[in-house]
């Protein structure tokens, strides 16, 4: 259990009243995600109105708002539905996870308009460092991708593009390749030809085309035919 002096506050405002519990930051977030127990998350079973002042919530207040005086049930509601104060270390960890997700999104969904190829992951990482763009740990990677891409463009030209591919797979590889097609992109259409070959139309992020071509060439021993039929 974390030392009480290193505990953070989980706070819930309900029906105009504020209730607080002291928690281990990491374990409380794990508890919200079903990865830890309440006992691991809680530093103390006290239910506070103001933890900094040591002001406890009364049983009358808990019964009125939560319909129970069971402190564990009240604490569970506060952690699951309230706001958990993040430590500096946890903020840094979330920021790093968000950064990796942003890099992955840029790599998979964009290309260098000069070469029509995806930027290498290391080049994207260096551009993020060079641009000194701020990554917000409180917003999803998807939500801030557009703003970050705008900051990167002077350093790292980016073009976000969706491609439609027409793919022809010979009969002897068609069955085993069909499942792969559904996993690696959005299968728009599929037709089995008279000779047993598969004609498919696939929607993919532009940055994934090289990886998809590599996988399909591996599955078909280089006998696949791939053609770009649309760009958006």
Residue 146 burial (CB count, 10 A): 9
What is each CA distance from 157 to 113, 123, 124, 130, 179, in whole angstroms?
7, 11, 10, 14, 34
Residue 3 confidence (pLDDT): 63
Q: What pTM was estimated for this model as a whole?
A: 0.72
Q: Which pLDDT tens digit goes with each residue over 20-35? A: 999 999 999 999 999 9
Q: Where are the domains of the chain?
A: 4-84, 88-160, 162-231
Predicted confidence band of residue 50 (pLDDT cuts 50, 70, 90): very high
What does the pLDDT read at residue 59? 95
Q: Of 55, 52, 29, 51, whose CA–CA distance to 40 is shortest?
A: 29
Task: Report whether CATH 3.40.640.10 matches the domain 4-84.
Answer: no
What's the mean pLDDT in 94-112?
A: 94
The predicted structure's pLDDT at residue 154: 94
- Which tens digits make up the pLDDT trace of 222-231? 999 999 999 8
Q: Which residues of 36-68 are buried (b: 16+ CB within 10 A; e: fewer)?
A: bebebbbbeeebbeebeeeeebeeebbeebbee
| Gap between the Cα atoms of 187 and 205, Å rounded | 13
State pLDDT tens for residues 111-154: 999 998 999 999 999 999 999 999 998 899 999 999 999 999 99
φ/ψ region of 228 (left if φ > 0, alpha if ψ in -120 to 50, else beta) reads: beta
pLDDT of residue 147: 94
Q: How far is the C-alpha of 86 from the C-alpha of 30, rounded, in Å?
A: 13
End-to-end CA distance of the chain: 53
Domain 88-160, what fold? Arc Repressor Mutant, subunit A (1.10.10)
Q: What is the mean pLDDT of residues 161-181?
A: 92
User: Which band of pLDDT confidence, cut at 50, 70 and 90, is reported for residue 83?
Assistant: very high
pLDDT beyond 90 at 71: yes
Task: Look over the chain and give the mean of its residue pLDDT values, rounded to a whole number.
Answer: 93
pLDDT of 197 strictly over 80: yes
CATH of 162-231, one of 3.30.43.10, 1.10.1200.10, 3.40.190.10, 3.30.70.240: 3.30.70.240
């Amino acid at each position: 259990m974390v030392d009480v002096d290193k505990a953070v506050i989980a706070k819930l405002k309900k029906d105009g009243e504020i209730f607080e519990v002291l928690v281990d930051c990491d374990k409380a977030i794990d508890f919200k995600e079903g990865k830890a127990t309440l006992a691991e998350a809680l530093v103390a079973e006290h239910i506070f109105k103001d933890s900094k002042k040591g002001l406890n919530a009364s049983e009358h207040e808990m019964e009125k708002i939560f319909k129970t005086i069971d402190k564990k049930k009240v604490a569970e509601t506060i952690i699951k539905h309230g706001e958990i104060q993040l430590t500096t270390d946890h903020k840094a960890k979330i920021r790093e996870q968000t950064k990796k997700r942003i890099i992955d999104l840029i790599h998979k969904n964009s290309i260098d308009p000069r070469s029509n190829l995806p930027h290498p992951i290391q080049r994207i990482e260096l551009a993020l460092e060079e641009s000194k763009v701020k990554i917000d740990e409180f917003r999803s990677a998807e939500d801030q991708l557009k703003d970050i891409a705008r900051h990167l463009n002077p350093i790292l030209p980016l073009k976000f593009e969706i491609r439609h591919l027409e793919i022809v797979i010979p009969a002897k590889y068609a069955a085993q390749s069909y499942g792969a097609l559904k996993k690696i992109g959005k299968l728009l259409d599929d037709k089995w030809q008279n000779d047993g070959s598969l004609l498919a139309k696939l929607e993919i992020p532009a940055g994934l085309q090289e990886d998809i071509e590599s996988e399909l060439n591996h599955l078909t021993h280089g006998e696949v035919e791939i053609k770009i039929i649309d760009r958006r």
